């Protein structure tokens, strides 16, 4: 899904993320979720961070945070990509 929450308010974003996580779990299906909104994937089983078309990192959110020493996935992404936290 490519930026599926674009244009949604905060509550609708949270509902869509929760619905897709539940659907994936109940159906045993993987969901590829492309987003710039890091909070949407903080509970993912795996995160791939791309920078300028290249894979910069590929691991669980916890492992990525541990690798960078960052407190959360947003800070981790900023550290790995050189982009400011938003």
Based on DSSP, count helices (H) and strands (E) in the chain, helices before strands: 3, 2
pLDDT, average across residues 56-75: 96
pLDDT tier at 2, thresholds 50, 70, 90: very high
Residue 55, beta-bridge partner list: 50
Claim: this prediction has a pTM higher than 0.85 = no
Q: pLDDT tens for residues 4-63? A: 999 999 999 999 999 999 999 999 999 999 999 999 999 999 999 999 999 999 999 999
pLDDT of residue 29: 93
Domain ranges of the chain: 10-81
How many CB atoms neighbour CB 47 within 10 A? Answer: 20
- Packing angle of the helix pair 61-68, 73-81 (nearest 10 deg): 60
How far apart, in whole angstroms, are the C-alpha atoms of residue 61 and residue 52? 20
């Amino acid at each position: 899904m490519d930026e599926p929450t674009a244009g949604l308010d905060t509550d609708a974003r949270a509902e869509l993320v929760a619905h897709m996580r539940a659907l994936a779990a109940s159906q045993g299906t993987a969901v590829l979720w492309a987003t710039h909104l890091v909070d949407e994937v903080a509970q993912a089983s795996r995160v791939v961070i791309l920078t300028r078309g290249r894979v910069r990192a590929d691991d669980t959110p916890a492992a990525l945070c541990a690798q960078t020493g960052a407190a959360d996935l947003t800070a981790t992404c900023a550290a790995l990509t050189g982009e400011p936290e938003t």
